[in-house]
Amino acid sequence: MRIHNKQYTTIWLTADDELQIIDQTKLPAEFKIVTLKTNEDVCTAISSMQVRGAGLIGVTAGYGVYLLAKNFPGQKDWQEYMQEECDKLLKTRPTAKNLSYALERQAKIWKNFSFNDALPKLRTEALNLANEDIDFCKRIGEHGKKLIEEIAQKKNGQPVNILTHCNAGWLAFTDYGSALSPVYTAFNAGIPVHVYVDETRPRNQGASLTAFELSEHNVPHTLIADNAGGHLMQHKMVDMVIVGADRVTRNGDAANKIGTYLKALAAHADNIPFYVALPSSTFDFSLYDGVKEIEIEERNARETEYITGYYYDEKGQKQVQEVRICPEKTKGLNFAFDVTPHTLITGLITERGIAEANEKAILTLYPEAKQYIQ
């Protein structure tokens, strides 16, 4: 997608085979490209959210396995080294299924080939994971566009108002995104759209990342406080909700950024269609009950106690500042995700099409998933 009218993906290998990312912790104040050289760099990038979003976490881990293999110290046992380093990657973020999905794909290589044979194969598989992520997200956009188009036809030229939560755009994947891919596809096709962007406390990924993406692509949008979504839906100012997901069970329960569940409840109460967009790499077919079985990441409480923004000083220079927003004695609690039960979800927008959020419909779309059911 575009940044300053130049095409980018979120992660890439340079001509010199260096792994580079866009540092998302700097956006929107600064556009910064970072080179990851070691497995420690990759682990830090994921855990600190320099890269974030289910798809991008997985692709970064895929590249990370190739990177750590390149750095293999010959005096160590190949498989012991790879297992130890991959375990570090797996522990960086517990909720996103795409992380283990990518590591499992790469493990099939390093567990079955020697270093010399595995290295080029690991590189190829990392590229495959990235290209698959792009392809799946592009197809999600094509399927989701049809839903937007149906609403647009009923509105006689008025914009389709779409509410989204957190960032599930191209910054959360290698390109295109999940929840925002239908928006971009519809917008590019000339369908009038407008996006209500939840700020998404505590890290403000909506305000800092989704708004940044939409601004760069010139998509009409409005930033709202997290608690405004219910009011907008109650007053019929929202036509549909589209969110992403970090892990979805085989019955359609969806873990997404904290606050998604509340939006789903409001949408259900006001009869607003609520869709979850995800590639198949986000499904966890081994799980059924998302509320009981999905591990929810608890992050540092500091993220709830402080907020970061930028301002312009007296010389007109942009400055970034972190400020505390609560009393010194107040301590925060910071669950990063919540689970929306499938009963509140109108449908799942996947690369294979749109399915109802229930086990039968999902297994019809993904019949190979039956092997994971015990």
Active site residues: 246
Asked if residue 357 lies in contact with residue 276, where contact means CB atoms within 8 angstroms, the answer is yes
As a whole number of angstroms, the distance between CA 99 and CA 52 comes to 11
Question: If 0-12 CB within 10 Å is exposed, 13-18 middle and 19+ buried, where does residue 255 land?
Answer: buried
Distances (CA, A) of 97 to 89, 200, 278, 372: 13, 21, 11, 14
162: β partners: 195, 240
As a whole number of angstroms, the distance between CA 227 and CA 117 comes to 54
Distances (CA, A) of 137 to 83, 190, 219, 244, 281: 30, 20, 18, 11, 11
Structure tokens at 231: 């009011």
Ramachandran quadrant class, 284 (left: phi over 0; alpha: psi -120 to 50; beta: rest): beta
Asked if residue 11 lies in contact with residue 51, where contact means CB atoms within 8 angstroms, the answer is yes
- Interstrand relation of 240-243 and 274-277 (parallel, antiparallel or unpaired): parallel
As a whole number of angstroms, the distance between CA 20 and CA 247 comes to 26
* CB environment 133-154: b (16+ within 10 A), e (fewer): bbebbbbbbebbbebbeebbee
Asked if residue 233 lies in contact with residue 246, where contact means CB atoms within 8 angstroms, the answer is no
Map 262-317 to HEC letters.
Answer: HHHHHHHHCCCCEEEECCHHHEECCCCCHHHHCCCCECCCHHHHEEEEEEECCCCC
As a whole number of angstroms, the distance between CA 45 and CA 68 comes to 14
Asked if residue 227 lies in contact with residue 165, where contact means CB atoms within 8 angstroms, the answer is no
